[in-house]
Amino acid sequence: MQLFENIALAVAGLRANKMRALLTMLGIIIGIGSVITIVTLGDAMTGAVMDVFNSLGANSIQIYINDKPDENGNIDWSRPYEDSDYISDEMIDAYKERFGSKVEALAVSESVGNGQAQNGRRQAQAQVIGVNDNALGIQNIDIVAGHDLNEREVGAGKYVAVISDAFVEDLFPNTTPQQALGREVKLRVARGQYTFTVVGVYHFEVNGMMAGMVGSTTSNLFIPVSVAKEIADIDRGYSVIQIKASSEVTDTVAFAQQSEDFLNRTFYRDNNYVELMAMSMDSMLDQMTSTMDMMKVVVSVIAAISLLVGGIGVMNIMLVSVTERTREIGTRKALGAKNSAIRIQFIVESMIICVIGGAIGVVLGTTLGRVGSLALGAAAWPSPFIILVAVGFSMAIGIFFGYYPANKAAKLNPIDALRYE
């Protein structure tokens, strides 16, 4: 019964100073809301990144050229890459021969740039990328009509293309992917215009986070890499290749290291400026996840500082409240109120401020986190755990920062309190 009386007194005290109570809650609201928003957005981004890497396949590795530091650890950033720095067809053949059955497939690519196609008044844009045969299978791209580029088309330098269903919809309205096969696409790219025959259509799925960040849904248009090099006037090797390991490989991290060691030892030993790096999708995912987790921790700590400041603000306001209500405290003690009752009254008042502020912060953080994750294209809700932690933390702040003012009020001498003006 005494607890309800203390709550009623605390609520009455807060209602008597609504604006002050609201401003006191502000630090708690901002702190709790910030933590929930940041954690929710971090979870959304982590989930989106995991989806991207999972779509590439856990058994894939990427091998790419990387600047090599000298003996003092310095890198010559002004030096442009030379033809001998790139991954050549000779290196690829030697790699296949060395690892044999461990390599299920190998993909190379060459970006030509952004292309624009026109069909009457309708236009469609796509990023034009040259690939080798079966490269789309390695990237887990879903062909819904026709076929992937094959060895004959790539070797002969055929002007054929695999386009997305979104590209079909933009350029050939009311046309199914199957009906788009065999259609000609006049594409303006790399300062020229070229005509490609559609041999395949794939399902274009916008990655949520990336689309949200760049605000673009431009799909890729795949052509034979030999044609891409011809159009872009490129006569060099590749900066990146992607390997799909076979079922023989049980440890892709170890396989990536073996691949890197072999290529560097065989082809890059005498190159003082460039070396190859190999990384498995698993290790890339681990690095990205740990980086995002670290970012969440750092920003959450910053948000927690605002909670601390908010807690100090609560304590400061409660001290002011004790001073203003000195005569009230004296009257209650003269009427027989115990020190514990006075102490509980002010602790409860402090907790009510923090709990209400925490509840508003949870609502604010949940809303901002949801809206932010939708804007990134990776919808997410805050976890129940983080909400419980936030509410529990706000209650703990109320008790911790409310105790000192409450204890000060409880120790007031009733005679001195009644004389206070």
339/272: higher pLDDT: 272
**Which of these three, 238, 261, 277, is where a domain ends?**
238
Residue 277 domain flag: no
Q: Are residues 107 and 234 in the same domain?
A: yes
User: What is the pLDDT at residue 12?
Assistant: 74
Q: What is the pLDDT of residues 104-124, one digit of tens each?
A: 889 999 999 999 998 878 889
Residue 78 domain flag: no
Q: Are residues 120 and 198 in the same domain?
A: yes
- Buried/exposed code over 251-283 (b: 16+ C-beta within 10 A; e: otherwise): ebeebbbbbbebbbeebbeeeebbbbebbbbbe
Q: Are residues 414 and 296 in the same domain?
A: yes
User: What is the pLDDT at residue 417?
Assistant: 60
Distances (CA, A) of 48 to 57, 207, 244: 15, 7, 22
**Which of these three, 205, 238, 271, is where a domain ends?**
238
User: What is the pLDDT at residue 214?
Assistant: 40
Burial class (CB in 10 A: 0-12, 13-18, 19+), 421: exposed
Q: Are residues 229 and 127 in the same domain?
A: yes
Q: Are residues 228 and 127 in the same domain?
A: yes
User: What is the pLDDT at residue 202?
Assistant: 95
H/E element holding 238? none
User: What is the pLDDT at residue 416?
Assistant: 64
Q: Are residues 138 and 197 in the same domain?
A: yes
Q: What is the mean pLDDT of residues 246-255?
A: 88
Question: What one-character DSSP code corresponds to residue 268?
Answer: S
Q: Are residues 128 and 230 in the same domain?
A: yes
- Asked whether the predicted pLDDT for residue 161 surpasses 90, the reply is yes
- Asked whether the predicted pLDDT for residue 59 surpasses 90, the reply is no
Distances (CA, A) of 51 to 47, 95, 147, 258, 381: 6, 29, 25, 27, 17
Residue 96 domain flag: no
State the CB neighbour count (10 A cutoff) for residue 343.
20
Q: Are residues 291 and 354 in the same domain?
A: yes
Q: Are residues 38 and 127 in the same domain?
A: no
Token pair for 112: 């030509």
Residue 280 domain flag: no
- Asked whether the predicted pLDDT for residue 413 surpasses 80, the reply is no
**Which of these three, 238, 267, 302, is where a domain ends?**
238
Please report which confidence band the pLDDT of residue 10 belongs to, taking 50, 70 and 90 as the band edges.
Answer: low
Half-sphere exposure of 289 (CA within 13 A, CB side): 11
Q: What is the mean pLDDT of residues 362-375?
A: 87
User: What is the pLDDT at residue 138?
Assistant: 81
Average model confidence (pLDDT) across the chain: 83
- Asked whether the predicted pLDDT for residue 379 surpasses 90, the reply is no
Q: What is the pLDDT of residues 26-58, one digit of tens each?
A: 878 888 888 888 888 877 877 776 666 665 556
Q: Are residues 44 and 158 in the same domain?
A: no
Residue 84 domain flag: no
Q: Are residues 208 and 324 in the same domain?
A: no
Range of the domain at 120: 103-238
Residue 189 domain flag: yes
User: What is the pLDDT at residue 209?
Assistant: 46
Concatenating the DSSP letter of every residue in 328-372 gives HHHHHHHTT--HHHHHHHHHHHHHHHHHHHHHHHHHHHHHHHHHH
Residue 40 domain flag: yes
pTM value > 0.85: no
Q: Which residues pair with residue 124 across a beta bridge?
A: 117
Token pair for 415: 């005679």
User: What is the pLDDT at residue 278?
Assistant: 92
Least confident of 137-146, 193-202, 236-245, 347-356: 347-356
Q: Are residues 123 and 31 in the same domain?
A: no
Structural domain tally of the chain?
A: 2
